[in-house]
Structure 1
Amino acid sequence: MGVRMVDVSAKEPVYREAWVEGLIRLKRDLAKAIGDSWFIGLGNLASSVSVAAVVAVKRAWEFIPLLHPIPITNVEVELTHGDDYVGLKVGAKTIAQTGVEMDALFGALTGLVTAWNVIKARHCVCGPNGDCRIIEEGEGGNVSFSGVGEIRGIEGLRVIRKIKGEAGNGFNAGLPSIRNAPPVVTLFDASNEPTYSGEAVASGFIKLKPSTVELIRGGGVEKGDVLSTAQLAAVSMAKRAWELLPLIHQNYLTHVAVGTEVKDEGVYVRVTTRNVSRTGSAMEALMATGAALLTVWDMVKKYEKDENGQYPNTEVSFIRLEKAVKTPIQ
């Protein structure tokens, strides 16, 4: 018996929203140690969990085999903690032919596992000004730094609300809002944005030694064609920027063009992106430019190093955004 992804080709894209919740159960002393600062273990629990959850919602389709890759238009994360738990709610929105609840569930799962990881290795009791006391591994005979014992487990991961066809106003019921984490991150809500035709242009320059410039011009770089490789790296990065920048949307890029020019002092790169989406493509253009410049650096680093292995002459002199426009499509 085979498997298949459900065919939603004939469905009309409509507004969809889902909210999910779950919690990680802790021993009371450990839950208390989180305090109002939300600093414990590896650092800022609230920031770590929030960013991880947002990124996971956007990438759920890569890890759940039969899930459709849908455009996520908004992610909201709420963290709470009580006497013996850290609670997490994740809301996700889309305009698509299929629902978004699995994406939200994957985001919550990832967020809760991230919470476990932040807490488990060592325990810190920290204040907002960085006045922390660290309990190191081995201190205290009954401390379990794998989390076994002090961290009881992940519980109650469930869908608490789904909406289809009309915009919702968020969800305020569910876990008690005890010691709410301060707002940390949010993915801009593009659900009600029109579809835009966007264009962005970014440019950058990497400064190189004159001898390296001559090697590039003469095709003498050992690693190969520097300019072609940099151009391919830029195109690839433009398409995948949403994977690395947690708070940008999955974007429908319709065009990426990369220009490179060898100048006397180094290599100039210019990237143009065009898109049809509910947001622009400036971040994609900037990331693509940076990836091209770093690819150049990587390919010529052998010639740029001094006798001590340092790079006294090499520098990405600038990366600039020259143009960023988006025009509503009527």
Structure 2
Amino acid sequence: MSVRMIDVSGKESVYREAWVEGLIRLRPELAKVIGDSWFIGLGNLASSISVAAVVAVKRAWEFIPLLHPIPITNVEVELTHGYDYVGLRVGAKTVAQTGVEMDALFGALTGLVTAWNVIKARHCVCGPNGDCRVVEEGEVGGLSFSGVGEIKGIEGVRVIRKIKGGLSSGNGTEGTGSINVNNAPSLVTLFDASNEPTYIGEAEASGFIKLKPSTVELIRSGGVEKGDVLATAQLAAISMAKRAWELLPLIHQNYLTHVAVGAEVKDNGVYVKVTTRNVSRTGSAMEALMATGAALLTIWDMVKKYEKDENGQYPDTEVSFIRLEKAVKTPMQ
């Protein structure tokens, strides 16, 4: 089955706008530390998320195989946090022949994975009585780490508004508690891995995109106009794993030795699982997460024609349940 980019050369360039939201679910003890300063782990969480999201919106066409390059005229990022989550909304605007929702989705997902990377430098540890507290990496004492479950996963990545023609109508988020990132401390840090040993690392991440049953049938029957959905998503994931360091500001360049991508069509969507292996001074968990997201958004891009309602919105489509299932580093002997 062939794959092709849709020809939009005959379309008129008009004003287009899209707003996307999503969140990363945390253990409450970890979320509480963020507070009003937005300073945790590797540094300024707000600035890190915002910069990564803006860069990703502008570069989405490089990573989603069948996406058209379009001139991004504006990107806005709004952040919120609550009892057990950090949330964001990303708005993107353009004057172009095609929509900007995939660019905004890619920006939101990249921002959320960046949040994961910044936050994971802090840990919750739990004592024998079940009480938990947040500590710096290495400050373990007599307590034991409770594992990758400290960060529960990325959820609810969806398009909340899409506009074609006319003028900007705002994001409709009045009263949601969005912040001015300039109020947060400005220090961020790339972890110094100079003295780390060389590890053999392995990570597994998974995620799900919810689709209409009719869209699922088109994928199964090979009837999607753009071509082979699963093969294209798998290639996008592999490419993203190798280039994740270009988008996430605080991860290191990595020597990946293996990337495997599985995709399973379910009755209500597609489940994706990515396994990465590496040999370097760091692990490959962030690469696995970004690759999973790239696969899911590539699927969305290829079937968006069938997911839109009569108003051009996406009432049924959502990326969710992005989880890090495994992340191990074994020092080489």
Normalising by structure 1, we get a TM-score of 0.50
Pair member with larger Rg:
1
Normalising by structure 2, we get a TM-score of 0.49
